[in-house]
Structure 1
């Protein structure tokens, strides 16, 4: 495909590092912002990627790199959806088109990629903790540097952010926290903090008074030490009495704002002032997600990220429309099933930590708002909130990405499993997720949940099995369920009306062959079906078993397989260590006689970003990889003449 050549504007073309940016006059910064925003739109409209968040912080990004002496000064981004401008200004402009592509730039800040990426991120609410650690370490080493963390109001709802604020307010440090307030994460923010920040940003009387006080105190600060001390005391007294930022002041922070996040010269002035103020500080910056691109400003949820080309003027999709019938995604199957179950069972409710769109539960929130809860970016709370619901007779479906459930692991063990509560963990994005890369791959849920008591673990091979597994989970009130399924489209095979209870811990034979049996867990089994057809054409007939459950494992079926085959292969879209294959191996090692075994899964190394198919091919988990593994086994098992 011939892609259009994308050229940066004249100022941006000469910025190969923040040092080049700092050579410009303040009067030129507005033009830099215009060119940077235009370049992001040009790149994403052709190559895809996260979108609205980076557009919303263009002015803030330029101001930060203009004021800070990066990389000596430390700039820490939270999550990283908004760091595109940062990457472009820090030497990655000319290859930014490879962003989120296989073997290309990461879609998130990444320490191994650039010295300007001070902390690797992907999960939210980590920036304040990391920045505080950097600042304290610098002081221990006797180094003079400024440390600033940029965190969104959505990420600020995460409990870890408040843990960091609490600690920072109690120990000597000089960090600056920049609260990027746009009332959005991926979906609109929820909760009391959102309302609190809204009160601050909409108080016209306060904002007018604050500006007057700020100007007055600025005059005082230009005087001698004595007057500066007086000004400091006046500021503390006035803000204590009148500033709505009392929550942050109570945690030990000096609060400044709210300020216009799209006035780059104003931001430069504020940031320069904050560099010279000792102690922990919080600058409240108000921005618009998607700023400068009308469709993104209008529909901020839709334009959080774009995966296909679009017209950079109108926003209209340029993707070629398929003539094939649309195939639903697994998240859609999940949501439709939960809504259907909720209508026939009053015990069923749903919970998600700030991912109603990603999990599909936004549909249920609209249709059944009193039965579906978005709790904000708070995975730990989501799990224990679900446990509380379960103690009162409800069956909560907790829709959480596999990678994010890691953050609620203690709660899944301590608050759910040990109390034998019927919480259903619907683990979306299980396996290799694609362009989001290693921070988002859902590879470890089998390993970290398999050792948890009172928990059933299962994975469907298709949409029908997902529906039946969700229903089966409602049939038990003395245990929890973990159901994993991948990102993306289903098989397209469809499903029958209604639900059927699945026998607990029972697999099925998909195909009968000889000598070699492949045991698959989850949707990766569809590659096995494809491989088996091709192997059959080569004269190699294998057996294929869709195991469905890893806990409880179908030991009766494993016994039968062990007695009838020379070689067993297990395959899973998950970490090999401690996963499905390990469960089968652990059982087989107790048998007096057992066949040879090969475990296929994700190896013990970081798998970078790319499409799911590209990554499966890289590590040999696709149909071609399965065929190659089986051909090797067949060749090695043939006696030499």
Structure 2
């Protein structure tokens, strides 16, 4: 779906349509609901600013990639989500050329982006990896190893931090909020770059004082950790304000270096029963949209149950053929069956 020529109002309407489609399908098939509802504007802004057919879009875990699937020629096919023969609940390159990598585990996205950035640099290509990672995945040690290397290499890479619990550097007071908003603008980024260039030719004393002033600002501005690692920081940005998101991503793209865009979102946004810090709406089974009540599971056996029963049957056959006591086997099977139910 080409959205680059759409107006802001059209993009907002598209976000509403995407949320409605996600609710419609997940209420029937089950799936990850609240994480996808909260990431809609982030993904629409990604597709608006970057080129999904050229730039590697990397989703950590990729359980929040439903909007990406809907924007990449899978709107109708989305109805088969998580069904036999249908589309996957995660990114899958064999399913679409727009899915860069088979994901399904937390904290791996930035490491993958580092590898992609190296390959792009070696081939002298005009592409940039774009990562969407949640604050939960940021707790994994692998992410810090990757950021450590990325900050040293200084290769272009955009990391969109989807902070839906506000657990990372919550802004303090109006002044901090003002400075954080200013940091997200192109003017501030250019100003900081020009000041650094000027200071490189200034006396040592002036450079020292300027560095002390910058460090003092970082004490009240979120993002100090990222900046110290060598990653530019933009934010916090309202993750549901398309105008602010697009502006921040354009600024990050033009930087031609590793940048963290910190976006604060509401998990479950757009479906009031799922909004907020409700674990029960993260991954759900079928439910009634109006009431929010979950539907009873069908009597059909799960894949796990089928596998367990087949394995148990084979084990009993092997035991019986080896001359084991049939009564012992039967009693053991009854005990296992009882535990399974």
TM-score range (shorter-chain normalised) is 0.7 to 0.9
Judge conservation of contact 2:184–2:248 (CA < 8 Å) in 1: no
Match of residue 286 from structure 1: 264
- CA drift of 1:31 comes to 1.0
When Rg is computed on C-alpha atoms for both structures, the one with the higher figure is 1
What is the aligned counterpart of 2:290 among 301, 307, 313? 313
Judge conservation of contact 1:99–1:106 (CA < 8 Å) in 2: yes
Q: Per-residue CA shift, 1:235-266, capped at 9, x if unaligned?
A: 99265454232221222111111111011121
Distance 2:226 2:188 in 1: 26
Judge conservation of contact 1:240–1:246 (CA < 8 Å) in 2: yes
Q: Per-residue CA shift, 1:24-69, capped at 9, x if unaligned?
A: 1233211111111111111111222111110010000100001001
Q: Does 1:26 align with 2:3?
A: no
Match of residue 176 from structure 2: 206
- CA drift of 1:202 comes to 5.2
What is the aligned counterpart of 2:310 among 524, 532, 539? 524
Please give the residue correspondences for 1:397-476 in structure 2 after superposition, counting only pairs within 5 Å.
none
Distance 2:289 2:171 in 1: 31
Match of residue 351 from structure 1: none
- CA drift of 1:172 comes to 3.4
Judge conservation of contact 2:12–2:242 (CA < 8 Å) in 1: yes
Judge conservation of contact 2:36–2:65 (CA < 8 Å) in 1: yes
Please give the residue correspondences for 1:131-170 in structure 2 after superposition, counting only pairs within 5 Å.
131-170=113-152
SS of the equivalent of 1:125 reads coil
Q: Does 1:72 align with 2:43?
A: no
Match of residue 61 from structure 1: 43
Judge conservation of contact 1:58–1:85 (CA < 8 Å) in 2: yes
What is the aligned counterpart of 2:223 among 234, 245, 258? 245
- Do the aligned partners of residues 240 and 219 (structure 1) sit closer, same or farther apart at CA in structure 2, a change above 3 Å counting? closer
Distance 1:228 1:30 in 2: 38
SS of the equivalent of 1:285 reads strand
Judge conservation of contact 2:131–2:159 (CA < 8 Å) in 1: yes
Q: Per-residue CA shift, 1:534-554, capped at 9, x if unaligned?
A: xxxxxxxxx6356xxxxxxxx
- CA drift of 1:316 comes to 2.3
Judge conservation of contact 1:221–1:231 (CA < 8 Å) in 2: no
Please give the residue correspondences for 1:295-444 in structure 2 after superposition, counting only pairs within 5 Å.
295-298=273-276, 300-308=278-286, 310-317=287-294, 319=295
Judge conservation of contact 1:29–1:265 (CA < 8 Å) in 2: no
Distance 1:545 1:259 in 2: 62
Distance 1:214 1:303 in 2: 31
**Greater helix percent: which structure?**
2
SS of the equivalent of 2:152 reads coil
Structure 1 unmatched ranges of 5 or more: 1-16, 185-193, 325-432, 435-485, 490-520, 530-542, 547-556, 562-641
**Greater strand percent: which structure?**
1
- Do the aligned partners of residues 321 and 43 (structure 1) sit closer, same or farther apart at CA in structure 2, a change above 3 Å counting? closer
Distance 1:220 1:50 in 2: 36
Distance 1:241 1:52 in 2: 33
TM-score by length of 1: 0.45
Judge conservation of contact 1:200–1:245 (CA < 8 Å) in 2: no
Judge conservation of contact 2:93–2:101 (CA < 8 Å) in 1: yes
Q: How many residues are aligned here?
A: 313
Q: Does 1:254 align with 2:232?
A: yes
Judge conservation of contact 1:131–1:147 (CA < 8 Å) in 2: yes
Root-mean-square deviation over aligned CA pairs: 3.4
Q: Per-residue CA shift, 1:376-429, capped at 9, x if unaligned?
A: xxxxxxxxxxxxxxxxxxxxxxxxxxxxxxxxxxxxxxxxxxxxxxxxxxxxxx
Please give the residue correspondences for 1:502-541 in structure 2 after superposition, counting only pairs within 5 Å.
523-526=309-312
Higher relative contact order (CA 8 A, sep 6+): 2
What is the aligned counterpart of 1:218 among 187, 199, 204? 187
Distance 1:57 1:230 in 2: 39
